[in-house]
A = this chain, B = another copy of it.
Amino acid sequence: MPYFDNNATTPLLSVAEEAFIRASRDHWHNTSSPYRSAAQARNIFDKDREWLAKLLGCPASAIVFNSGATEGNNAIFNFLEKKHSERARVVVSEIEHPSVLEPALAAFPSRVDLLPVLPSGVADLSALPKLLENPDVALVSLMAANNESGVLQPWRKCLQICRQKGIPFHTDASQWLGKMTVEGLGDCDYLTACAHKFGGPKGVGFDIISRSETGFNSQLGGVHEQGHRAGTENLPGIHSMVAALKGLYENLEQTRVDQEARRNAFEKTLCQQVPGTRIIGDQSERLWNTTYAVMPSFANTRWVAQLDKRGFIVSTGSACASGKEGPSHVLAAIGIERSEARRILRISGHWDTSSAAWNGLNAAFEEVWKELNKTKSSAEKTRVISV
C-alpha cells in the first residue's frame, strides 16, 4: 500500500532490520560486563559511534545515544536550565517541533524569544541580530528542515551568526538526517536526531553535545555514554540505526535527484488535476520528499479517508498535531488561515517511492476530487429539494 507519510514515521529498512536481528542475536551482552563477549559487543558499539561521528564530522565523544528526538530535545533544554542563571533566555524559531517548543517554555518560562518565519516558510534571520543583542541569550534553536512543510531552514547561516556572537546553536535535524547532505551538522553545538524518521528503529536517536559541555547528563545512575546518559545501551537499536544511515548515504545524491523529480512532477499534475491547489513553500528549498498542499475545497480528513480507501496513505499534517483543534502552529506562523488549514494535506514520500506510486497517487487524487464533487453536488441537490 503506497505510503506517503514518511515525515510521521518510516518503515524499518531491511538493512536496519537485518542489523537489529544480527546484533540482537550475537551482541546482546551488557557492554559494561567483564568478559569477552561483552568486550566484543563494546567493540561493535564503539565502531558504530565512530562511524556516525565521522559521517557527521564531530568527535565520537560528542555523541550521546538516547531514545529519540523528544528525549534529545527535552534533555538539552533541561540541561541548559540547570546550567544557566534565572535570567538566561533562549531564541527558538516559531516553527519548531513541540518537543523543542514545550521544553524551552518549561525550562525558560517567559524567557523564550521566537524567531519569526516568512510566508515562504523560511525562518527570518534578519530578525536574529536584534534578538541576540540581549546579553542573556544562552541558546539559539532552529530546526534543519520543517516536519510539516519540508521547507529547509537556514541553519548553517544561523550557526555562523551565533558563532560570531559566541552563542551556542542547536538544530533539531530529525527531518534532515538521512535525507540531505550531512555537511556542517557536526559543527553544531547541539543537534538532535531520531532513527525512525530515516528507516531506523523506533525508540532510538542521539544528541550531539557541545564539545565544551562536560556536565551534561540526562539520566543519572551509571557511567554509560561518557557519563552523559546512564542506562544499559540499546546496542541492537543503535546498530540498526547506524545501518540505516550507512545504507541511505551510500546513494543519497541519486535518491535526492530522482525523488525530487518525481515529487515535482506529482505536484505539477496535482495542481492541474485539482485546480486551485496551492503548494506551501514551493518557492523555497524543500526536502525532496515532501508536499504540503492546501486543497481548494473539502476538509482534509475527507481527502485522507478517500485516498486511504483507494490504497494511498497521506496525512492531514504532523502526526503530533493531529487530533488537535485549529491549525498547527507552523501553519499559523506562515500565515495560513484557519479555513485553509482545514484543507491541508501532507504528502511525504520514501527514498524508494516508485514513479508508479507517485503516478498512482495522482490518479487517486483525480478520482477523489471527482467523487467529493459528486457527493457535494448530490448533497446540494438534496438540500435544494428539502428546502
**Contact between B315 and A33 (Cβ–Cβ < 8 Å)?**
yes
- A7-15, A263-271, A351-359 - interface stretch: A7-15
Is the beta-carbon distance between B71 and A231 smaller than 8 angstroms?
A: yes
Complex CA–CA separation, A201 to B236 (angstroms): 9
Q: Is the CB of B34 within 8 A of A304?
A: yes
Interface residues of A in 228-263 (CB under 8 A from B): 230-237
A90 CB, nearest partner CB in chain B, Å: 14
Knowing A21-B17, A70-B221, say if A9 contacts B98 (CB, 8 Å). Answer: no
Bound Cα distance from A101 to B323, whole angstroms = 39
Residue-wise, chain A 204-243 has the 8 Å CB interface mask toward B (1 for contact) of 1000000000000001111100000011111111000000
Given contacts A222-B98, A320-B222, contact A28 B1 (CB under 8 A): no
- Complex contact A221–B99 (CB within 8 A): yes
Interface status of A100 (Cβ within 8 A of chain B)? yes
Q: Mark A303-342, 1 if CB is under 8 A from B, else 0.
A: 0110010000111100110110000000000000000000
Cβ of A5 within 8 Å of any chain B Cβ, yes or no, is: yes
Asked if A24 is at the interface of the complex by the 8 Å CB criterion, the answer is yes
Q: Give 25 pairs: A residue, B residue, CB < 8 Å, sorted on A.
A: A8-B30, A9-B28, A10-B28, A12-B25, A12-B236, A17-B25, A20-B20, A35-B305, A35-B315, A66-B67, A67-B71, A67-B231, A68-B231, A68-B232, A69-B231, A74-B219, A98-B221, A98-B230, A99-B220, A99-B230, A102-B230, A106-B220, A201-B237, A203-B234, A203-B237
Spell out A's residues near B (CB within 8 Å). Answer: 1, 5, 8-12, 17, 20-21, 24-25, 28-30, 32-38, 66-71, 73-74, 97-103, 106, 196, 201-204, 219-223, 230-237, 301, 304-305, 308, 313-316, 319-320, 322-323
